[in-house]
Structure formats: structure tokens, C-alpha cells
């Protein structure tokens, strides 16, 4: 018998220390871009700014609204060129929004690997309003809200 892991479940409760860390390292840099005729406010921390300056490659922040058994918000970071449309924020940063429908609805497969799916053009108007990114302990982190 396995125990329920609340941090890895669909209904994960975020660690309160992470929320405090987000408040302490709140965004110091801001930009507003338009995606699908809607304004998106983007904020990033000083740590993220320093890490972006260190690299000679553009950072692509991919916002996914992932439809499977449930709807999940995901933020992925790419340093290599991508094959989907992006919006330029500045010379070091690009932003993309992609609503995706999973090809299957298997809770275990969804939780472990987010199976590939197709883009949902009908959900393209569900663009987030605010995005925040940070660079913490060697990893990019991000979240968005409506």
C-alpha cells in the first residue's frame, strides 16, 4: 500500500517556505507583452536577471495550460530554439503560451511525464494575466495566474 504524496498530486499544496521565498525574492524587473491580443504582465527576480545575463542564449519561458484528466498549469524553460511561436520580451527573454490537450488520460502517466498532445486553438484566448519567474538553487522556477 502506498501513501498519498501531497506534493506530487494533482491537488498539491505548495510548501509555505517557498511562498515566503517568493515574497523575499519578488520580481524586481517587469515587462508587459501582448499574446493573442491580451496583455501579460511579466516579472522576474534579480537572481533571474543575473542568470539571464550570464548566458549568451535567449531564455524561452513556455506557459502551458495542460488539459488531461485535469487541467494543470505548467511553466517550462528552454535555452535551445523552439518550434512554436514566441513573443520577444527583450534580447534575453521570450515568452510563449500554449494550451495543450493530452492524447491520453492516464493519471500515473500524466503525473510522471506529461504525455505529448496537440495544441488547443479553442483555448488560445485563455492567456494568463501575470507571470513570475525566478532562478533558485540552480533551477528556473515560474508560475502564472489569471
- Of 52, 50, 67, give the one whose Cα is nearest residue 114: 67
What lies within 8 Å, CB to CB, of 67 at 6+ separation is 99, 100, 101, 102, 117, 120, 123
* pLDDT(10) > 60: no
Which pLDDT does position 107 carry in this prediction?
A: 63
Between 117 and 129, the higher pLDDT residue:
129
* pLDDT(1) > 50: no
Q: Mean pLDDT throughout 16-34? A: 80
Q: What Å distances lie between residue 95 and 18, 55, 67, 73, CA to CA?
A: 23, 17, 20, 15
* pLDDT(51) > 60: yes
The DSSP symbol for 128 reads -
Mean model confidence pLDDT for the chain: 83
- Model pTM? 0.77
**129 CA to centre of own chain:** 13
Between 82 and 72, the higher pLDDT residue:
82
- Of 62, 29, 57, give the one whose Cα is nearest residue 43: 29
* pLDDT(129) > 80: yes
Which pLDDT does position 87 carry in this prediction?
A: 96
Lowest model confidence (mean pLDDT) among 8-12, 14-18, 104-108 = 8-12
If DSSP codes are grouped into helix, strand and coil, which group holds residue 10?
A: coil
Amino acid at each position: 500500500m502506498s501513501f498519498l504524496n501531497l506534493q506530487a498530486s494533482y491537488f498539491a499544496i505548495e510548501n509555505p517556505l517557498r511562498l515566503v521565498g517568493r515574497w523575499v525574492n519578488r520580481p524586481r524587473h517587469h515587462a508587459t507583452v501582448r499574446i493573442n491580443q491580451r496583455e501579460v504582465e511579466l516579472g522576474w527576480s534579480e537572481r533571474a536577471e543575473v542568470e539571464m545575463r550570464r548566458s549568451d542564449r535567449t531564455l524561452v519561458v513556455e506557459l502551458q495550460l495542460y488539459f488531461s484528466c485535469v487541467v494543470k498549469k505548467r511553466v517550462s524553460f528552454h535555452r535551445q530554439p523552439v518550434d512554436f511561436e514566441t513573443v520577444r520580451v527583450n534580447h534575453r527573454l521570450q515568452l510563449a503560451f500554449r494550451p495543450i490537450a493530452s492524447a491520453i488520460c492516464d493519471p500515473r502517466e500524466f503525473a510522471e511525464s506529461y504525455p505529448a498532445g496537440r495544441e488547443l486553438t479553442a483555448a488560445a484566448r485563455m492567456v494568463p494575466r501575470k507571470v513570475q519567474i525566478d532562478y533558485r538553487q540552480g533551477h528556473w522556477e515560474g508560475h502564472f495566474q489569471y
